[in-house]
Amino acid sequence: MPRQSRSEAAYIVLGLVEYLQPATPYDLKQVADRTTFNFWSVPHTRLYTECTRLAEAGLLNEQREQTGRRRKLYTITPEGQRELDEWRSEPATQEYELWDPATLKLFLGADPAVLAESQVATHRRRLEYYEQLMTLAEQAPRGYRLALEAGIGHQREFIRFWTTLQDGSES
């Protein structure tokens, strides 16, 4: 039976549950804030709805704590694991989509020097954050470290690009 098409948010949830299990939606939000949300933006509320949706589809097991706050705890089912593994094994053929407000403003005629000052600072902060995460990621899964390396490379390129515009030496 062919795999049902799901959103990237669904795969973020499956992957994080696989890594953390058992996990509450709040646990997923906490980890996603430091990991996947650096590369893929998903509203926090979506994590909660995806957990419910994936449990209803039989891809996650849901248990409610019997005491305390009676939080919902999720684990991945064998079917959820198969679907996640199948999705990971497929090549990513979509082109990279740069969705950057500063680049759009630049395209539409904004003053490059004005944009550049804030962009250099913004990308330096993000680079510093990614580099801090990398120093803490020694025991993290290989994929997490590789994604951080990609993010670090992007930030360095953005800094190079915006610094060139800030210096007024663009081509």
pLDDT in tens, 21-68: 899 999 999 988 888 877 777 888 898 999 999 999 999 999 987 787
Distance CA 114, CA 134 (A): 31
The structural domains of the chain, ordered by start, are 8-89 (1.10.10.10), 101-166 (no CATH)
Under 8 Å between Cβ of 155 and 127: yes
Least confidently predicted of 32-36, 81-85, 150-154: 32-36
Q: How far is residue 58 from each of residues 25, 77, 94, 103, 148, measured CA to CA in Å?
A: 17, 7, 28, 42, 31
- Return the percentage of the chain with pLDDT > 70, whole number: 96
- pTM here is 0.75
